[in-house]
Chains A and B, each alone.
Chain A
Amino acid sequence: MTMLREKSPERIPAPQVRRSRRKSRAGFFYVLPALVVFGLFLGYPLLQTLQYSFYDWDGLSASTWAGFSNYFSVFTDAALRDAFGHALVLMLFYAVVPIVLALFLTALISRANRLRGMGFFRTVLFLPQVISSVVVATIWVSIYSPDGLLNGFLRMVGLGSVTRVWLSDYSLALPAIGFVGTWVNVGLCLVLFLSGVGTIEPSLFEAAQLDGARAGRQFFAITLPSLRGQIAVALTLTVVSALKTFDLVYVTTSGGPGTSTTVPAFEAYNRAFTTGQVGSGAAVAVVLTAVIMIVTALIKRIQPKESG
């Protein structure tokens, strides 16, 4: 800072001139430390990922130029195509089901913000959000185990014939993982929507009631339109978390049985660090990043302008 002080002339009468001249450099120096960390550990590697994705490289020997072949394989390689397909299925469980469920509940309890004890429910419903996904994964591994909670419950209600080893079942392992996402996200969506409902003018509901509008009509005419911002936020968070799924798959199934639960993030990691296909892993990472950016931008469009 001393250097800067010396450079700026000390006694210029007009304070505005002095301030703006000093600011034009000082501001940059405030941002610089953050930019260095940001650039070295995020920005530069990001560009390198792009570069890697155009090479065939096993991580050890020399790399060879691969052109767009790593990107073509995202569409042609069955394993990779499946991984992106699985991400779509997860979106259903992570985003669509929790949002629809939470909207339905919000319709039923649309004025619940005025309930006593709401803070307690908010705390409890939000709890799965703060627990490490690795812990969540180990909890659900136990629930889905042969003698676990789910099979025990099914036997208890007389559905013993449907019991199975959920995470080893080719067709049900992916939905089983998806349901964990539903469990994590439904509370988040509900809390978001209830907080949005809390800001709606109560007189709107009263007027609608006087006009003879039933609960269903009130929901579609008042509640749903007012929740557009919250729905956009919930959609962004849940869809992105579905696309980013890694920890849950890594800990519960490692992509198995077979390749029935692989997801893009897992493929990117696996290719780069276990099977020695760094370029291919990088291409998957680039495509995944692009998809996340595009989806986020699309969802932003349904957000009302004033909230950003």
Chain B
Amino acid sequence: MRLSTREKVVDYLILTIFGLTALVPLVGVVLSAVTPPVENHGGFALPSRIDLGNFGAAWAEGRFGQYLLSSLLVTAGVVVLTTVLAILAGFAFARLRFFGSGVLFFVVLAGLMLPAEAFVIPLYFNLRTVGLTDTYAALILPQAAQSLGFAIFWMRNQFRAFPTEIIEAAKIDGARDLRVLWRVVVPPSLASIMTMCLLVAMWTWNEFLLPLVLVSSEDHRTAPLGLAFFKGAHLTDYSLLSAGGVIVALPIVAAYVFLQKRFISGMLNGIGTR
């Protein structure tokens, strides 16, 4: 069906207006980050000169190098742990019949909608008792637990759609379940596994409450947590705050720009089930 010119113009106009609404605050924060601090009053004015020193200042004063490293370690840890556990569990729920599988899957599903508030309070006291607060483990393990509901559900759907004949053929050739999983089922599913990894990485990178509660030393602060404390210390230094914000958001935004198709389709398919 062809659209009339008038309809097209209206469509583009509306999409542009809303696209701009989404973009203006984001472009503004980038502009603000390169505005010399003395000129910056919080408004998004075009700076008279570009001052990249804000990034250096924020990096040094805000210890963002340390925070990014923490975020990177935690995100990598959560993604690897969640992926391995979810592939195993998802395969079992999709392909193997075992006692209690229905009940167990229901339990995992129930975890999908749980807000972090539901378990973070005792978690803090438990981890403190065993001396795990203020460690990367305290950030990785609970975050992985929180991601598992979605990840297992995602992998189960993927493995259920996997052609049964191929699995049967591999079994007739004498392969055992674990071998079938890693050699036959996982390789063609890599695209879907990648999408899951991206979403889990994004949620982990952006998570705020768990790091806020579970770490107190600066050494283990993740990037968003670092930014929140930085904001508390530099209430009205909008240049520094914006530079910090750009530093924290950049890794995810860069990944999103390169892999946006995967992000969007993953979120549209995935978040609907969360």
Which residues of A approach B to under 8 Å, CB–CB?
1, 19-20, 22-28, 30-31, 33-35, 37-38, 40-46, 48-49, 51-52, 59, 105, 108-109, 111-112, 114-115, 117, 119, 121-135, 137-143, 145-149, 151-152, 183, 186-187, 190-192, 195, 202, 205-206, 233, 236-237, 240, 243-244, 246-247, 250-251, 264-265, 268-269, 272-273, 278, 281-282, 284-286, 288-289, 292-293, 296, 308
Decide if A37 touches B81 in the complex (CB within 8 Å): yes
Decide if A34 touches B121 in the complex (CB within 8 Å): no
Q: Which of B4-12, B46-54, B184-192 contacts A (4 or more CB under 8 A)?
A: B4-12
Q: Among B3, B18, B206, which residue has its beta carbon within 8 angstroms of that of A105? A: B18
A-B pair count, CB < 8 Å, reads 314
Q: List 24 A-B contacts (CB under 8 A).
A: A24-B99, A27-B101, A30-B92, A31-B104, A33-B85, A34-B85, A37-B145, A38-B145, A41-B146, A42-B145, A45-B122, A46-B119, A52-B122, A115-B8, A119-B261, A123-B257, A124-B19, A125-B19, A125-B22, A132-B223, A135-B249, A145-B42, A146-B42, A308-B273
Chain A residues with CB below 8 A from B60, complex form: none
In this complex, the member of B81, B118, B120, B205 whose beta carbon has the largest number of chain A beta carbons within 10 angstroms is: B118
- A109 with B260, Cβ < 8 A, contacts A26-B96, A45-B119, A121-B19 known: no
Closest to B267 in A: A129
Q: Whole-angstrom distance from the CB of B95 to the nearest CB of chain A?
A: 8
Q: Whole-angstrom distance from the CB of A36 to the nearest CB of chain B?
A: 9
A28 to B43, CA, bound (A): 58
Decide if A251 touches B228 in the complex (CB within 8 Å): yes
Chain B residues with CB below 8 A from A109, complex form: 10-11, 14-15
Decide if A132 touches B224 in the complex (CB within 8 Å): yes
Chain A residues with CB below 8 A from B236, complex form: 145
Decide if A247 touches B142 in the complex (CB within 8 Å): no
Decide if B238 touches A37 in the complex (CB within 8 Å): no
Q: Which of B114-173 contact A (CB under 8 A)?
A: 114-115, 117-126, 141-142, 144-146, 148-149, 152, 171
Chain B residues with CB below 8 A from A37, complex form: 81, 85, 141, 144-145, 148
A148 to B44, CA, bound (A): 7
Chain A residues with CB below 8 A from B100, complex form: 28
Chain B residues with CB below 8 A from A128, complex form: 22, 26
Interface size class of B (residues with CB under 8 A): 35 or more
A186 to B274, CA, bound (A): 19
Q: Whole-angstrom distance from the CB of B87 to the nearest CB of chain A?
A: 9
Chain B residues with CB below 8 A from A35, complex form: 89, 104
Q: Whole-angstrom distance from the CB of B250 to the nearest CB of chain A?
A: 10
Q: Whole-angstrom distance from the CB of B170 to the nearest CB of chain A?
A: 13
Decide if A27 touches B92 in the complex (CB within 8 Å): yes
Chain A residues with CB below 8 A from B86, complex form: 34
A282 to B113, CA, bound (A): 17
Closest to A138 in B: B245
Chain A residues with CB below 8 A from B208, complex form: 132-134, 246-247, 250
Decide if A26 touches B1 in the complex (CB within 8 Å): no
Classify the secondary structure of A's interface with B: helix
A205 to B149, CA, bound (A): 40
Q: Whole-angstrom distance from the CB of A245 to the nearest CB of chain B?
A: 10
Closest to B32 in A: A142
A48 to B7, CA, bound (A): 58
A44 to B22, CA, bound (A): 41
Give me 11 other A-B pairs in contact (C-beta within 8 A), A45-B119, A49-B121 excluded.
A27-B101, A40-B141, A44-B122, A127-B26, A130-B202, A141-B231, A142-B238, A269-B213, A285-B117, A288-B117, A289-B115
Chain B residues with CB below 8 A from A59, complex form: 125
- A52 with B11, Cβ < 8 A, contacts A27-B97, A31-B92, A152-B43 known: no
Closest to A41 in B: B145
A146 to B29, CA, bound (A): 16
Decide if A26 touches B213 in the complex (CB within 8 Å): no
Decide if B41 touches A202 in the complex (CB within 8 Å): no
Closest to A202 in B: B1
Q: Whole-angstrom distance from the CB of B74 to the nearest CB of chain A?
A: 14
A255 to B257, CA, bound (A): 34
Decide if B260 touches A285 in the complex (CB within 8 Å): no
Q: Whole-angstrom distance from the CB of A166 to the nearest CB of chain B?
A: 11
Interface string of B169-185 (1 = CB under 8 A from A): 00100001110000000
- A145 with B264, Cβ < 8 A, contacts A45-B126, A278-B121 known: no
- A41 with B141, Cβ < 8 A, contacts A125-B19, A143-B25 known: yes
Is B209 among interface residues, defined by CB-CB distance under 8 A?
yes
Is B111 among interface residues, defined by CB-CB distance under 8 A?
yes
Decide if B88 touches A237 in the complex (CB within 8 Å): no
Is B21 among interface residues, defined by CB-CB distance under 8 A?
yes
Is B244 among interface residues, defined by CB-CB distance under 8 A?
yes
A192 to B264, CA, bound (A): 10
A191 to B19, CA, bound (A): 11
A308 to B157, CA, bound (A): 13
Decide if B111 touches A42 in the complex (CB within 8 Å): yes
